[in-house]
Each structure stands twice: as structure tokens, then as C-alpha cells.
Amino acid sequence: MNRLQYDQVRQNDRVIRPMVSGDLPAVMDIEFQGYSHPWNETVFRDCFRENYRLWAYDCGGVLGGYAIVAYLYDEAHLLNLCVAPAVRREGAGRQLLRHLLAHAAHEGMEQGILEVRASNQAAIDLYQSEGFRVIGQRPGYYPAPEGREDAIVMTFDLSSA
Ligand SMILES: CC(C)(COP(=O)(O)OP(=O)(O)OC[C@H]1O[C@@H](n2cnc3c(N)ncnc32)[C@H](O)[C@@H]1OP(=O)(O)O)[C@@H](O)C(=O)NCCC(=O)NCCS
């Protein structure tokens, strides 16, 4: 098999599926590599609720990333999107984002909303390139190594998606 064929097989091995509780050890591993202030396992366990959607990016049986979304009225609130360092810059974050937005639209949500650290330019670039726009700022929303950090609030119109 040549490199191109191998890459195609690898891509085909990648699927987005609902997260299950058995994913949590791998989720915690990625979470701790992804954030300065990671969620703990109890927070993830608490997300297995009827109005939450938990998505796993599965690379041939190995977890490559995940997204957590809460549905509230007609809003899909993206609470967490994280990709394992080993598979970053390969499109996983974008695929997860498109998947969760498509599902939210399909399930009748009118708007996607999220907060992102003001310093997290990689994530801001991703969201803006997918059509999110900045609607405001929450001062001191996040804990930071020295004090607090502002959140940028972004929304996405799902009614036209
Ligand atoms: C943000 C994150 C989810 C992106 O995941 P990813 O799979 O690497 O992203 P993709 O490969 O789909 O990249 C999509 C776009 O995001 C932007 N991007 C991603 N990583 C970037 C980086 N290191 N520097 C600059 N832009 C970046 C680019 O616009 C990129 O598009 P391009 O590759 O065409 O230039 C990932 O870096 C991550 O898990 N970070 C830690 C957790 C986090 O910050 N989550 C977001 C919380 S709001």
C-alpha cells in the first residue's frame, strides 16, 4: 500500500460517534494535555444528560478528541472541544465542530454559542473560519496562571445552516 492509500485508510478509520462512559479515561488524558485548567472527571460524568450531546472523534478505536454541547431552549452551547496533540492540525477540530453544528440544527437549535479564552487564537481562528462571529466579551471569565482571563463570546446562526 502506498502512502496515499494508507492515508485514505486512516481517514476512513476516523468517525465521530456519541461518547460513552468507557471513553472517560482517554478523555481525561486528552483534557489534561489540552487545558491549563482542565475539567475533572466528575464534570464530564455530569454531562451525560438528556439535553447534552457528547461527541467522540474515534481514530480506529483510539480517541482523538471530543466535543461537549448543552442544549438550552433553542441554543446549542459548546462547552468543550478538544483534540489530542498527536492528531491536531489534521482537521479533527473542524470536523467535530461541523458535526455538532449539523446535529444541533437538525435537532431544532436556532443558535450555536461558545466562550473562548481571549488568548486562544487557534480556536478563535477555527470558529471564525466556520462562520462564528464575536458578540461580546466576559471580563475575567476564566481562571488563568496569573489572575483571570477574559472570554470572547461567539455565536453561529443555525437557522440558516
Ligand atoms: C483548538 C483545537 C480544538 C483545534 O483542533 P485541530 O484538530 O487542531 O483543528 P483543525 O486541524 O481542524 O484546524 C482548523 C483550523 O483551526 C485553526 N488552528 C488550529 N490549530 C491552530 C494553531 N496551532 N495555530 C493557528 N491556527 C490553528 C486554523 O485556522 C485551522 O485551519 P487550517 O488548518 O486550515 O489553517 C485544538 O488545538 C485543541 O484541542 N486545543 C486545546 C483545547 C482548546 O483550546 N479547545 C478550544 C476551547 S474553546
pLDDT in tens, 14-63: 999 999 999 999 999 999 999 999 999 999 999 999 999 999 999 999 99
Residue holding cell 433553542? Answer: 74
> Both ends of the chain: CA-CA distance in Å?
39
Q: Which range marks the domain in which residue 72 is found? A: 15-157
The answer to whether position 3 is within a domain reads: no
Say how far apart CA 31 and CA 8 lie, in whole Å.
Answer: 28
* For ligand 1, mutation pick of 88, 101, 117, 120 (most atoms within 8 Å of CB): 88
- CATH number at 69 reads 3.40.630.30
Residue 71 lies in a domain: yes
pLDDT per residue over 57-108, tens digit each? 999 999 999 999 999 999 999 999 999 999 999 999 999 999 999 999 999 9
Domain membership flag for residue 73: yes
In a domain, 27, yes or no: yes
Question: Is 24 inside any structural domain?
Answer: yes
Average confidence (pLDDT) over 107-122:
97
Whether residue 149 is contained in a domain is answered as: yes
What angle (nearest 5°) sits at the alpha carbon of residue 70, between those of residues 149 and 134?
45
Strands 52-59 and 62-72: antiparallel
What is the model's pLDDT at position 11? Answer: 72
User: Is the residue at 25 inside a domain?
Assistant: yes
Whether residue 161 has pLDDT greater than 70: no
Of these residues, 127, 130, 141, 142, which one is catalytic?
A: 127
Q: Annotate the chain with three-state secondary structure.
A: CCHHHHHHHHHHCEEEEECCHHHHHHHHHHHHHHCCCCCCHHHHHCCCCCCEEEEEEEECCEEEEEEEEEEECCEEEEEEEEECHHHCCCCHHHHHHHHHHHHHHHCCCCEEEEEEECCCHHHHHHHHHCCCEEEEEEEEEEEECCEEEEEEEEEEECCCC
Length of the chain: 161
Ligand 1 pocket test target in 14, 68, 89, 138 with most atoms within 8 Å of CB: 89
- So what's the pLDDT on residue 160? 76
Backbone angles phi, psi at 72, to 5 degrees: -135, 115
Instruction: Tally the domains of the chain.
Output: 1
